[in-house]
């Protein structure tokens, strides 16, 4: 028997409870994993609180990522004892996820733990951190370099934002952090942010073109914040857009694209091909300083997940939250 947080739905309301399951209850799959850590991402917050239509079939074990050790494997790629990471692929949405002591998944969804990381470090990074790294890679593929100018990170005190601040600062960028919480300035300064802009400022409606401020931007917000970011980009600048913390809508004009050669690039971590996600994990393992893991993450138990889920949806979480199903 093992513990899992199980979501159910009654009268359209999502409920969460810790249940004891048997391995035989797990869905079919090639690899059985003992989970050491999962993490809490914005999407998990929506799923556990039932705020967003993330989960359509119940009962469901949420948790869109996990790291642990292979127990059984029907795949040549993995042997019992191998350390592995899973993020995305609909796990914790359409397939049972990481808020449990065990999971059974497809081998193709797993990434071998890169040298230099362990389960705790991998889930301090988690889906949010992987997405941050994919955003940094995307900006550099668009030609953005530390010498190009300042880079902006929106939703900076959240999961994706805080890791993006740390990674960009580590690569030598002058990072400007947008946050709605002035009390996080000290935390963000420790991660490497050099300047701060209030979220309210970025929410102001933008003209089609504003003064040029940013060589690159990582945007987790969407909505009017992304519209303003686009209007403020330098000539030839690039924006990596990965989130919708403000809104899924985007009302803008073509002016930044056709007069300033600005590019808007989408970033998805869920179906990101294995070769690219492996590359991203290797960069993360090599680049994040040891101090980042202590600065970024805090650990909670399965029983704490419902409250933490409400907090992340309310925008109250700072950095990353790890979930230890064995606590």
Taken as a whole, the chain contains a residue count of 327
Q: Beta-strand (E) ranges in the chain?
A: 2-10, 13-21, 31-40, 65-73, 83-87, 102-105, 110-112, 151-153, 175-179, 193-198, 214-219, 233-241, 263-266, 297-301, 320-324
Q: Work out whether 246 is an interface residue with ligand NDP (CB under 6 A).
A: yes
Bridge partners of residue 19, in order along the sequence: 4
Q: Judged by CB under 6 A, which of 317, 322, 323, 325 binds ligand NDP? A: 317
Q: Work out whether 141 is an interface residue with ligand NDP (CB under 6 A).
A: no
Q: Judged by CB under 6 A, which of 97, 129, 158, 216 binds ligand NDP? A: 158
* Residue 267 to residue 135: CA distance in whole angstroms: 6
Q: Any idea what the Cα angle at residue 47 is, between residues 177 and 271, rounded to 5°? A: 70
Residue the block writes with tokens 């300064």 = 189
CB nearer to ligand NDP: give 203 or 285.
Answer: 203
Q: Work out whether 47 is an interface residue with ligand NDP (CB under 6 A).
A: no
Q: Work out whether 92 is an interface residue with ligand NDP (CB under 6 A).
A: no
* Residue 111 to residue 281: CA distance in whole angstroms: 9
Least gap, CB of 318 to ligand NDP (angstroms):
7
Q: Work out whether 49 is an interface residue with ligand NDP (CB under 6 A).
A: no
Q: Please give the span between the terminal C-alpha atoms of the chain, in angstroms, as a whole number.
A: 15
Q: Work out whether 41 is an interface residue with ligand NDP (CB under 6 A).
A: yes
Residue nearest to ligand NDP (CB): 158
Q: Are 293 and 130 in contact (CB under 8 A)?
A: no
Q: Work out whether 197 is an interface residue with ligand NDP (CB under 6 A).
A: no
Q: Judged by CB under 6 A, which of 14, 138, 179, 263 binds ligand NDP? A: 179
Q: Work out whether 73 is an interface residue with ligand NDP (CB under 6 A).
A: no
CB nearer to ligand NDP: give 156 or 169.
Answer: 156
Closest CA to 53 of 86, 7, 99: 7
Q: Work out whether 191 is an interface residue with ligand NDP (CB under 6 A).
A: no
Residue 185 CB partners (closer than 8 Å, separation 6+): 179, 193, 196
**CA separation, residue 94 to residues 59, 124, 254, 305 (Å):** 10, 23, 36, 19
Q: Work out whether 267 is an interface residue with ligand NDP (CB under 6 A).
A: yes
CB nearer to ligand NDP: give 199 or 260.
Answer: 199
Q: Which stretch binds ligand NDP (CB under 6 A): 22-30, 165-173, 207-215, 311-319?
A: 311-319
**Structure-token pair, residue 166:** 């740390």
Closest CA to 255 of 288, 231, 238, 222: 231
Q: Look up residue 27 and give its DSSP letter.
A: P
* Residue 202 to residue 222: CA distance in whole angstroms: 11
Q: Judged by CB under 6 A, which of 62, 98, 129, 159 binds ligand NDP? A: 159
CB nearer to ligand NDP: give 157 or 167.
Answer: 157
Q: Judged by CB under 6 A, which of 2, 36, 43, 48 binds ligand NDP? A: 43
Q: Work out whether 128 is an interface residue with ligand NDP (CB under 6 A).
A: yes
Number of residues in contact with ligand NDP, rule: CB under 6 A? 33
CB nearer to ligand NDP: give 117 or 225.
Answer: 225
Q: Work out whether 131 is an interface residue with ligand NDP (CB under 6 A).
A: yes
Least gap, CB of 251 to ligand NDP (angstroms):
15
Helix (H, G, I), strand (E, B) or coil at 67: strand
Judged by the rule CB under 6 A, the positions of this chain that interact with ligand NDP are 41-43, 127-128, 131, 155-161, 179-181, 184, 199, 220-221, 225, 242-246, 267-270, 312, 315, 317
């Amino acid at each position: 028997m093992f513990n899992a947080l199980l979501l159910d739905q009654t009268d359209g309301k999502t409920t969460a409870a810790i249940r004891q399951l048997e391995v035989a209850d797990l869905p079919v799959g090639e690899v059985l994993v003992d989970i050491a850590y999962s993490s809490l991402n914005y999407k998990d917050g929506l799923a556990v609180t039932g705020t967003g239509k993330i989960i359509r079939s119940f009962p469901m074990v949420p948790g869109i990522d996990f790291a642990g050790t292979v127990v059984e494997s029907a795949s040549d790629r993995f042997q019992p004892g191998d350390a592995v990471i899973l993020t995305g692929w609909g796990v914790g949405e359409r397939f049972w996820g990481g808020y449990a002591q065990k999971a059974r998944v497809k081998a193709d969804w797993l990434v071998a733990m890169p040298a230099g990381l362990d389960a705790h470090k991998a889930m301090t990074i988690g889906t949010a951190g992987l997405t941050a790294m994919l955003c940094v890679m995307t900006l550099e593929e668009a030609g953005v370099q530390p010498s190009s100018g300042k880079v902006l990170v929106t939703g900076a005190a959240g999961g994706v934002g805080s890791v993006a601040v740390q990674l960009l600062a580590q690569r030598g960028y002058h990072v400007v952090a947008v946050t709605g919480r002035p009390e996080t300035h000290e935390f963000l300064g420790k991660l490497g942010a050099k300047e701060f802009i209030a979220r309210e400022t970025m929410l102001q409606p933008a003209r089609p073109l504003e003064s040029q401020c940013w060589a690159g931007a990582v945007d987790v917000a969407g909505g009017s914040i992304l519209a303003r970011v686009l209007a403020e980009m330098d000539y030839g600048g690039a924006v990596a857009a990965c989130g919708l913390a403000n809104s899924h809508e985007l009302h803008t004009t073509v002016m930044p694209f056709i007069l300033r050669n600005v590019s808007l690039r989408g970033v998805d971590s869920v179906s990101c091909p294995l070769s690219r996600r492996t590359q991203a994990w290797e960069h993360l393992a090599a680049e994040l300083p040891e101090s980042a893991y202590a600065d970024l993450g805090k650990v909670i138990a399965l029983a704490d997940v419902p409250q933490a889920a409400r907090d992340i949806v309310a925008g109250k979480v700072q950095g990353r939250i790890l979930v230890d199903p064995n606590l």
